[in-house]
Amino acid sequence: MVIKNQSEMKDGNIRNILRTMLWNAPISRADLCKKTGLTPSAVSALIRELLEIRVIQELGPDSQKNQGVGRPPSLLQLRANSYAAAGAEIGANYLSLGVLDLTGEMQDTMIEKIAPGEQPESVFDQITCYVAKQDSQLKEKRAKLVGLGVAVTGLVDTKRGINRFAPNLGWRDINVTEELSSRLSIPVVVDNNVRLMALGEQWFGNARDSGGLIFVQVGAGVGCGIVLPGIGLLRGAFDGGGELGHCTVLPGGPVCKCGKQGCLEALISERALVSAYLRRTAIHSETAGDPRSLSVDTIVEAANQGDIDATSVLREAAEFLGIGLATLVNILEPSQIVLNGNAFALSPLTRTWICESTQRHRFSSEENIELSDATFKGHQGMVGAATAALQQEIF
């Protein structure tokens, strides 16, 4: 926390004020009282402390309210460049790094390739080098780096910061928190990458402060992050919650990496769509093309050009994804679904089919559920990771 060694109650009140300011700035002391439920004297005292440590700033009188009697209220907002958090996403073949200021603005982002079979130590060294450099640059600007968030693929024990299993990286039981804490003297928080993508979207993206959000990443696999009002990020009792990709949508369907049959991931992953397209085009060999150049992006491109096989493969995949999304909507009723990943998730053509299928399989279709693109695209995991660190240390 920005003010150390506080009682739990005071810590909660400070976080309440800073969170309220994040989503409602600029704001007066009186409006802070209304939105936080704190008394005017409590708000004044805490604001005084927060101004002293430069986490917030006073903007002066509200020019919109100077027609009435008396002095217009002074407005307050977060001081964006006073504190920051670093974020790192360790993807299947890339490392995304960046820094987020207090208002969620990205600074100094970079993306590096991770070679197949690269050892964890080498990835941690790259993260350490980047974070140490950012830390000293921020110090020069009188700003403070409060922590590092790390987003990793696969199963994560978030309490201990252990990446239990990342099949795409070949990692098992890697203690990410311990490895990075021993190299850097700042707090480190670790979670699954798609979960953190959802968190970043809900805090700083277009879906900020929404009434419930389902974030789905479609690519080599199918990841899902769920943020619920009043609960926050859904992790489940044993850190394995939100596994949309391993929900059965076609009993007896193709075998999944997890060993079960008919999982959503086994039907709509990059590899599944390419295989399905190759099977169809083998029947009409004149449209077959070079399989080495095939990807979901090229299949979507072919569908856009009217290719019948590409269209049928993608329509079927959209149907399966819609079944999965409708199931989550029926149970959780989010206000927004955010999609990220490859062209199947993002192109307008496939998006229409995914929407139609979701709508068709929902129980109640009275309330419209918005289906939108992720705000930070390729940086989404990094932003989410830094958000987790800001949430732990500031908000």
- Binding residues for Zn ion (CB under 5 A): 246, 256, 258, 260, 263
- Sorted by sequence, the CB contacts under 8 Å of residue 144 that are 6+ apart come out as 82, 83, 84, 138
Closest by Cα among 192, 173, 190, 169 to 123: 169
- Decide if 172 contacts 161 (C-beta within 8 A): no
Q: Is 89 exposed, middle or buried (0-12, 13-18, 19+ CB in 10 A)?
A: buried
Rounded Cα distance between 282 and 67, Å, is 75
Contacts 24+ apart (CB under 8 A), 46-51: 46/10, 46/13, 46/14, 46/17, 47/17, 47/76, 49/3, 49/14, 50/2, 50/3, 50/14, 50/17, 50/18
CB of 271 to Zn ion, least distance (A): 13
Instruction: Tell me whether residue 261 or residue 287 sits nearer to Zn ion (CB atom).
Output: 261
CB of 249 to Zn ion, least distance (A): 10
CB of 3 to Zn ion, least distance (A): 45
Return the SS3 of 143.
coil
Return the SS3 of 164.
strand
Instruction: Tell me whether residue 35 or residue 260 sits nearer to Zn ion (CB atom).
Output: 260
CB of 260 to Zn ion, least distance (A): 5
Instruction: Tell me whether residue 195 or residue 246 sits nearer to Zn ion (CB atom).
Output: 246
For the record, the structure tokens of 223 come out as 């990841």
Instruction: Tell me whether residue 84 or residue 264 sits nearer to Zn ion (CB atom).
Output: 264
Instruction: Tell me whether residue 70 or residue 259 sits nearer to Zn ion (CB atom).
Output: 259
Rounded Cα distance between 107 and 87, Å, is 10
CB of 255 to Zn ion, least distance (A): 9
CB of 257 to Zn ion, least distance (A): 6
Instruction: Tell me whether residue 19 or residue 257 sits nearer to Zn ion (CB atom).
Output: 257
Report the DSSP pairing between strands 213-218 and 336-341. Answer: parallel
Return the SS3 of 82.
coil
CB of 263 to Zn ion, least distance (A): 3
CB of 266 to Zn ion, least distance (A): 6
Return the SS3 of 228.
strand
Instruction: Tell me whether residue 43 or residue 264 sits nearer to Zn ion (CB atom).
Output: 264
Instruction: Tell me whether residue 231 or residue 255 sits nearer to Zn ion (CB atom).
Output: 255
Strands of the 336-341 sheet, one edge to the other: 232-233, 222-228, 213-218, 336-341, 370-373
Closest by Cα among 223, 198, 197, 203 to 213: 198
